Amino acid sequence: MDLGGVGQAGVDLGSAEQGAMSGKVALVTGAGRGIGAAIAARLAESGWRVVAADRDPDGSPPPGGRDVVCDVADEAAVAALVAGIAAAEGRLDGLVCNAGIMIRKPIGAISLAEWNRVLATNLTSTFLLVRAAETLLRAARGAVVAIASTRAHMSEPDTEAYAASKGGLVALTHALAISLGPEIRVNAISPGWIATKGPPPRPEDHADHPAGRVGQPADIAAMAAWLLGPDSGFVTGAEFIADGGMTRKMIYRD
């Protein structure tokens, strides 16, 4: 399972949407699996050329796009990634900062190196990517989507590094939107429970959600595609919580 930020359902995309995105280029990080792979696939179906970056690509790039090996926590690697896009594609219209890791340990057990690794991958990478891609994104009047998490607002035990990174990502989103607008729009999606791996959700897991089901990667992919597209042109600096209503549900125990 994915509990927010770390299979694509069939979507019927009209020719108008495909035509509007034709010729546009998107970079999706953490695109080797899960939410990132679903976003890359959805954008490719919509006519985008997708550069799918991951530390461990699965070897099946989106149709018409390409895979790139990249550790987004590494400043030089990010600079090389964006320079490669400038050389090969010549433009960048959309950036999806999805790469993320979790190291779940009690606060007394997690090392400073582990803490820094989580923040570098989940939070600092977005700063590095946007800084490197700013010129290309401004030229295209592009958009950025950061994949945060409902863990920016609620937590389980032993998730301090992950929660801090995702909370920082929400704040970084609105800071970037103010600094880079109006040429570049920046928004965040905070997923809740998204079923990406592990045992399938149980009936009671679905029933716990006010929406009646656990989320799918396609749910986040559809929102990301909208935020990168022209229909969201008046939306920037916003966080969209996609969790089936769970952060609004009060739970009492007898």
- Where in the sequence numbering do the catalytic residues fall? 162
Q: How many CA atoms lie within 13 A of 185 on its CB side?
A: 22
Report in angstroms the alpha-carbon separations of 142 from 4, 71, 75, 83, 86.
Answer: 25, 23, 22, 17, 14
Give backbone dihedrals phi and psi of 138, rounded to 5 degrees, phi first: -65, -45
Report in angstroms the alpha-carbon separations of 196 from 78, 138, 200, 214, 252.
Answer: 26, 33, 9, 10, 28
d(CA 162, CA 151): 8
- The two tokens of residue 96 are 């999806």
- The two tokens of residue 208 are 């716990």
C-beta of residue 193 within 8 angstroms of C-beta of residue 215: yes
Report in angstroms the alpha-carbon separations of 105 from 26, 108, 121, 137, 158.
Answer: 35, 8, 17, 38, 5
Report in angstroms the alpha-carbon separations of 169 from 7, 9, 122.
Answer: 26, 27, 8
Contacts of 28 (CB under 8 A, 6+ apart): 36, 39, 40, 43, 50, 51, 52, 53, 96, 98
